[in-house]
Amino acid sequence: MTSRRDFFQGIYHNQAEQFDRLVAREDRQGNLFGALNEIRPLHGLRVVEFGAGTGRVTRLLSVMVDTVYAFDIEPSMIRRAASAMRASGMSNWRLSLGDNGKMPVASGCADLVLEGWSFAHVVGWYPNDWPARTDAMLAEMRRILKPGGVAILIETMGTGRRQPRAPSASLRKLYDYWQEEHGFAYRWIRTDYQFSSPEEADELIRFFFGDELADDCLKRENIIVPECTGIWWRRFA
Ligand SMILES: C[S@@+](CC[C@H](N)C(=O)[O-])C[C@H]1O[C@@H](n2cnc3c(N)ncnc32)[C@H](O)[C@@H]1O
């Protein structure tokens, strides 16, 4: 049987393009940029991004920040992100390989560090030692930040849901850990998917979220699939 880790790593290794088609359909409301900019005004910042994937957050940030240094552990995701960033015409970005737990970046260099939909894999991939791995990733964020810098974590609070709820007990534990043990504040936004057809919705939701969730949510939804997204943030002294 394919483990959760093999399943997602297989996608990131072999299907970066398909993944990018899915995430390109998310946030039809355009809520993410405004929410990030409210938490930490983005103009002129030096940003380090963890687990950047195919670069959807990198692209969003690049229009406002001074520089975004984005990293991912998977070369095919980085290649895809680099091609999208080149096509965007922006030049204030760098993309490289980097592990969320040990980033190839100098200490104290960033005003803002963030991750989107990457850190939470830890609970499915490492069910026995996710707290220690989480501590290491957050310590890495803190190391990279300048004094007074802000860390932001972005993760799902439910696909096919109009109101936020952690999709599993293990994610609830992780989010509580960020809030209660690491002092992160929390808010949520809607980042609904809008597909071009019911067939595309079926194809892309099924591809990433699996048959159970696809069957459940696509019997209610058509080309718009609601999504709730949690945003956690903390300023480090
Ligand atoms: C769901 S994707 C999100 C990508 C991107 N942030 C986005 O919003 O579309 C998760 C990403 O985390 C990356 N990832 C998983 N574990 C990682 C690690 N330990 N270090 C760096 N990247 C990691 C994966 O390769 C994948 O690109």
Any atom of ligand 1 within 6 Å of the Cβ of 99: yes
Q: Decide whether any atom of ligand 1 lies within 6 Å of the 12 Cβ.
A: yes
What three-state secondary structure class fits 42? coil
CATH number, position 117:
3.40.50.150
CB 33 within 8 A of CB 62: no
Position 1 scores a pLDDT of 63
pLDDT, tens digit (0-9, with 9 covering 90-100), for 175-193: 999 999 999 999 999 999 9
Helix 75-88 with 16-24: angle, nearest 10 deg: 50
Q: State the residue range of the domain holding 54.
A: 4-195+227-235
| CB of 60 closer than 6 angstroms to any ligand 1 atom | no
Residue 221 located in a structural domain = no
Asked whether 111 lines ligand 1 (CB < 6 A), one says no
Which residue(s) pair with 167 in the sheet? none
Residue 213 maps to a domain:
no
DSSP 180: I
- Measured between alpha carbons, how far apart are the two ends of the chain, in Å? 46
In a domain, 17, yes or no: yes
Examine residue 49 and state whether it is found in any structural domain, yes or no: yes
Q: What tokens were used for 44?
A: 């002129």
Number of domains in the chain: 1
H/E element, 156: strand 145-159
Q: Is residue 67 part of a domain?
A: yes
Asked whether residue 186 is domain-assigned, the answer is: yes
Q: Dump pLDDT digits (tens) for 39-60.
A: 999 999 999 999 999 999 999 9
Taking 80 as the threshold, does the pLDDT of residue 133 lie above it?
A: yes
Extract the tokens encoding 34.
């405004």
Q: What b-and-e string marks burial along 192-202, b requiring 16 or more CB atoms within 10 Å of the CB?
A: bbebeeeebbe
206 lies in a domain? no
Entry field: residues in the chain: 237
Q: Look at residue 202 and tell me if it is in a domain.
A: no
- Taking the centre of ligand 1 as the mean of its atom positions, its distance from the CA of residue 38, in whole angstroms, is 24
Residue that has been written with the tokens 């560090």 in this structure:
113
Compute, in angstroms, the gap from residue 118 CA to the centroid of ligand 1: 4
Q: What mean pLDDT is predicted for residues 126-138? A: 97
